[in-house]
Amino acid sequence: MTTRSGRVIKHEPLGSPTESTRSSSTMPPPSPSPKKRKLPHDGYLGTPSMTTPSIAPTFTRSHAPSAETYQRRDDDQEPIFMEMRRRQDNIGTGRHSTPSSQNADASFVQQSFAHPTFTDIGLKQKACNDTLGDLQTLGVSHVAALPELVLVGDQSSGKSSLMSGLARVNLPRSAGVCTRCPLHIRLISSKLDRWSCTVSLQQDFDFQPFPDRKPRTSDVTRTNPFPPWTKRPHRDIKPFKTIFDPNEIEQVLRWAQIAILNHNRSFEQFVPDEGTFAKKYTLDVAARETDAQFSPNIVALEIKGPGLPDLSFYDLPGVFISPEKEEDGYVVKVVKNLTLEYIRREKAIIIWAFPMNVDSENSISLDIIRKSGAADRTIGVMTKADQLSNQNIPTWLAMFRGEKQRVGHGFFATARPPNQNLEAAALWEKLFFDREVVENTSWPIEYAEFANRCGVEVLLEYLSCELGAAFARSLPSIKDMVNTRLKQIEGELTSLPELPHNVEHEVKRSLIQFLQHMKTAMRGTEFSSNWNTLNRQFRACVFKMKPKCTVRDSDTQTIDISGADSEATTPTPRRPRPSDSTMRNVATPSRRPRQDAVTTPVKQEDATMGGMSRASSVMGAPGADLQNPFIAFFHLGRGAMDIKEIRSDIMRLKRPGMPQDLVPDEVRETLCLRAVEKWSSPLETYIKKTADLLEYTALVALEESLGGLRQRLIFRECHHHLGRFITQQVASQQGRLTEMYNTEAYQSFVMNDDVFRSCKAQEMEQLNRIRGIVRLKALTLVDWAYPTKLWEHMSEEERIKERKMLDTNLPKLPKDPYETEIEVAGYVRGYYIMAAARFVEGVAMNVNSTLLRTFRENELDTYMDNEFHIYGRADPSLYSKLMEEDENTAKRRVQLKAEKDKLVRAMHSIKELESSSTGPSVPSVTRPHVTIDSDNEMDEGVL
């Protein structure tokens, strides 16, 4: 391969003969010191195709035919060279790279890279490297890993001189430039005579300093490798300055680094000759007063000019062990972490720079490379070759031959003297490696066989070749992954629509639709059915709370009069005693009460918003399988009355001289109000469940009308105001129902005597029936095992039989000593039944005619119109504000759109490259003779 300087480069393995040598013994061995041959320079445009071998880790000449000795056929249009298949990929994986199409349609890939002529894309080196540079600048490595060159080395390793040679620009070499942040250099060959350099700041991290101290070494962890810097969701690119004079590059780079280190300030104030800070302070002062000591953000240079190589690479700060100040000890770990991050990138080609005037075993960078498993992806560059001592010649010769410090791409040597401009340094290096005496220094003759591995120009050609080939191999999978990510972003953006064209119309239309849905839902069968179920549950609960009465003639004889809504139980048969008679007509306290079969219609929600439960995104029937919310109150009627306690109250309140069977009114009043007072808890539950049902119905209507605008402010505002309206209306309704309750609990009140007497008569009949059975059992006139059932649960035959039994035996008994107390219990229970029916019906009627009416008619419309101006005119900014999103959603859309823009531009660059590779103007190029021998064997040669 011919370099731009005219030197011939031969990339050949050491240590074993080639296949051509094994097949022909007539080829003479090369001389130890081959002559340099000048070939016509036709412009090195590319690398072999994706199957072309790469360079070997060792470099002894093979006996394969060269470009001059191979006999061409008459119909050959251009030279044809021996081409060897490689066993291993020297870019680190050990296997040939293959396009990945697992995440994209096969047809998508076939439309591009499966095209037969696409394999020639490797020849278009400039186009490949230009496209790769575009992708690197755009920052799409989070989507697809990109091939990249990464220059690493210890401090004082000659990296700055090497970087200046590679960039073909006189970069500053003193402390302060690219020592405290990474540098990305992109070189673009231009047909224009004008040189230009655009400097930009690529911000991937945010600066979040500790409020009261500097970072410490202990702050540097695996999860926080660059304190106090934190990773951003996407890259932000700030254009810093474009210059057209190479002599200005040092100043601009220094100020760009200062801007990077002052992340939380406007970068514009640090632009030289323009920014306020740059005009006021000198570089030295500004460098001492930066907010951060180090930054993982990147200063990027895009250099265009005639004769430049098409190349891009990263230059990292030099790795070191001891900081200048003890307080900056954390920077040592941070720089090492940064180097690790770049080296570990699977497609990074590492350029390891180390000087020939020190022992390479002491290289910190080499240790990092080895521990990262990146040696196979590493190019060794021995700098400061002019400072090599004669006694170390065998050591460095062994490295050239791959016998020591072996790396996958072998070693190059450079010698760029400091304090010389670019042209002088390049000339000096050429004379030096040509073994001309330069300043009493000469390149030892022992290294003559590696002349094709010496000089920055030779290294540049090799880097450009390797980077282009790696990118060509990776391009199908890169395009695949970029396209897949684009589809994901587009899908997510469809769920985050932009503002509608007519914002006011959209707001009003959505709110009017909601109000209509709300009215329809309140009159619909679903709401009516659920609310009727709640009313039935409430009524059943209140009637189950009817006060129970326990009859106790003695300490052992008891009777619990439960009433018609409870089941009678039969005690375990045992031998009766005259003084022991126990009878209960309801389940014992230890027995679990029977649950009502009807369930609550109200769905519970955990989170609330504006006084209203937040509906889930998928609305379903409310709580059809939840427990009756009133079950907990069923037991409140138990133990309400006892005939012995009733007698005690009568005796306590009776005035002297009153007849024995005369009961003071206060006794009846107290027992009646005590039973009614227990309605407060069920009433509170009824109100809450009614409110829950309203909220659920409102949220269903809201989802149906504004569900598509859930991420907009209008949805949250409507949700908030709707919740507040429901809260206000429920609070007013609760006040009215509380008044109804207080009226019932204030004083017993009977207007319909006929209803009251009927209710009392029914209760007295039940009480006397059960009381009679208990007395008969106590006197052994009835078998103790006789079952006591609820009257309504008995068959007609059982009822006739029991009446006959009671009519026959009760006349035999003396007068009941608790007859008066039984009458009081019947009075209280009769009043309770009448008052309960009145109260339950009144509560339901009041809720229907007041609370529910506000939603069926126009009160909600008026309220929402006052908030949103649905039916009138308002400031247009109000409607625009209502269509705004929450901060997180808006920020997410901005991020997605920014990422989409980058990926669209990336796809455009890829498609342009693809198009140029399939066009008719693909130039013919001479492929360099390149061989690989990673396992001391060669595959069969392929012509």
Q: Quick one: how many helices (H) and strands (E) in the chain?
A: 25, 15
Q: Is the pLDDT of residue 609 over 80?
A: no
Identify the pLDDT of residue 100. 36
Helix extents (H) in 381-496: 393-400, 422-433, 456-494
Helix (H) or strand (E) segment spanning residue 203: strand 196-207
What is the Cα–Cα distance from 185 to 187, expressed in whole angstroms?
7
pLDDT score at 174: 54
Q: Is the pLDDT of residue 724 over 90?
A: yes
Q: Which of these, 516, 512, 536, 678, lies nearest to 600 by C-alpha position?
A: 536
d(CA 603, CA 655): 56
Q: What is the DSSP letter of 438?
A: B
Q: What gap in Å lies between CA 775 and CA 819, rounded to an integer?
A: 12
Q: Contact 156/312 with Cβ under 8 angstroms? A: no
Mean pLDDT of all residues in 601-623: 41
> What DSSP string describes 297-335?
SEEEEEEEETT---EEEEEPPPB-SS-SSGGGHHHHHHH
Q: Strands, DSSP E only, in 337-406?
A: 348-355, 378-383
CA 404 to chain centre: 47
Do 698 and 722 meet the contact criterion of CB atoms below 8 Å apart? yes
Whole-number pLDDT of residue 914? 78
Residue 600 above 80 pLDDT? no
Residue range 796-825: average pLDDT?
91
Q: Say if CB 690 and CB 629 are below 8 A apart.
A: no
At 420 the pLDDT is 80
Specify the pLDDT at position 238: 93
Question: 492: helix, coil or strand?
Answer: helix
Name the 3-class secondary structure at 155: coil
Query: What is the Cα–Cα distance from 539 to 843, expressed in whole angstroms?
Result: 10
Closest CA to 190 of 43, 45, 46, 309: 309
Confidence of residue 820 (pLDDT cuts 50, 70, 90): very high
CA distances from residue 698 to 459, 598, 689, 722 in whole angstroms, order as listed:
73, 24, 14, 8
Least confident of 69-78, 266-275, 754-763: 69-78
Please give the DSSP secondary-structure letter assigned to residue 553: S
Q: Both tokens of residue 253?
A: 């780079």
pLDDT of residue 423: 84
Between residues 578 and 861, which one has the greater pLDDT? 861
Q: What is the pLDDT of residue 367?
A: 92
CA distance 702 to 722: 9
Mean local confidence (pLDDT), 797-802: 92
Indicate the pLDDT class of residue 774, thresholds 50, 70 and 90: confident
pLDDT in tens, 415-465: 988 778 888 888 889 988 988 766 767 889 999 899 999 999 999 999 988
Query: Pairing state of beta strands 229-243 and 196-207?
Result: antiparallel
Q: Is the pLDDT score of 479 beyond 90?
A: no
* Mean pLDDT, residues 857-865: 90
For residue 241, give the 3-state DSSP assignment: strand
Confidence of residue 310 (pLDDT cuts 50, 70, 90): confident
Look at 154 and 126; give whichever has higher pLDDT.
154
| Per-residue pLDDT tens digits for 879-890 | 777 777 666 777
Q: What is the pLDDT confidence band of residue 741, given thresholds at 50, 70 and 90?
A: very high
CB-based burial, 241-259: b 16+ in 10 Å, e otherwise: bebeebeebbbbbbbbbbb
Average per-residue pLDDT in the chain?
A: 77
Instruction: State residue 172's pLDDT score.
Output: 67
**What are residue 454's DSSP bridge partners?**
413
Tracing tokens 């390049």 back to the chain, one arrives at 426
Please give the backbone phi and psi of residue 111, each rounded to the nearest 5 degrees, phi first: -70, -15
Sign of CA dihedral 563, 564, 569, 575: positive
User: Quick check: 616 pLDDT over 50?
Assistant: no
Q: Return the closest-CA partner of residue 87 out of 933, 928, 929.
A: 933
Least confident span in 304-308, 398-402, 578-582: 578-582
**Segments in 413-454 forming alpha helices (H):** 422-433
Task: Check: CB of residue 744 under 8 Å from CB of residue 834.
Answer: no
pLDDT tens, residue by residue, 398-420: 999 988 888 999 999 999 887 78
Region 125-134: mean pLDDT is 75
Q: In whole angstroms, how large is the CA radius of gyration of the chain?
A: 47
Do residues 554 and 643 lie in contact, with contact meaning Cβ atoms separated by under 8 Å?
no
pLDDT tens for residues 65-116?
333 333 333 344 444 444 444 434 433 333 333 333 333 343 333 344 434 3
Cα–Cα separations (whole angstroms), residue 389 to 382, 394, 658: 14, 10, 134
What lies within 8 Å, CB to CB, of 155 at 6+ separation is 318, 319, 320
What phi and psi, each to the nearest 5 degrees, are found at residue 841?
A: -65, -40
Tell me the pTM: 0.52
Residue partners of 122: CB distance under 8 A and separation at least 6: 46, 47, 48, 49, 50, 52, 128, 468, 469, 472
For 467-477, write each residue's pLDDT tens digit: 888 888 888 88
Query: What does the alpha-carbon distance between residue 734 and residue 726 come to, in Å, rounded to a whole number?
Result: 12
701 alpha carbon, distance to own chain's centre? 30
Q: What is the pLDDT of residue 827?
A: 95
Task: Determine how many CB atoms are found less than 10 A away from the CB of residue 562.
Answer: 24
Q: Across residues 260-266, what is the average pLDDT?
A: 95
- Contact partners, residue 713, CB within 8 Å, separation at least 6: 881, 882, 883, 884, 885, 886
Q: Half-sphere exposure of residue 909, counting CA atoms within 13 Å on the CB side?
A: 23
Give the three-class secondary structure for 263: coil
Q: Are 449 and 413 in contact (CB under 8 A)?
A: no
* Contact between 883 and 712 (Cβ < 8 Å): yes
Largest CA distance in the chain: 150
Structural tokens at position 590: 């230890």
CA dist., res. 162 & res. 150, Å (int):
13
> pLDDT tens digit string along 524-539?
899 999 999 999 999 9
SS3 content of the chain, % helix, strand, coil (to 5): 50, 10, 40
Q: Are 813 and 754 in contact (CB under 8 A)?
A: no
20-52 pLDDT per residue, tens: 333 333 333 333 433 343 333 333 333 333 333
Query: Would you give the DSSP letter of residue 898?
Result: H
Mean pLDDT of 594-607: 37
How far, in Å, CA of 829 to CA of 745, rounded? 15
Which of 576-590, 617-631, 832-846 has the least mean pLDDT?
A: 576-590
Residue 783 has pLDDT above 90, yes or no: no
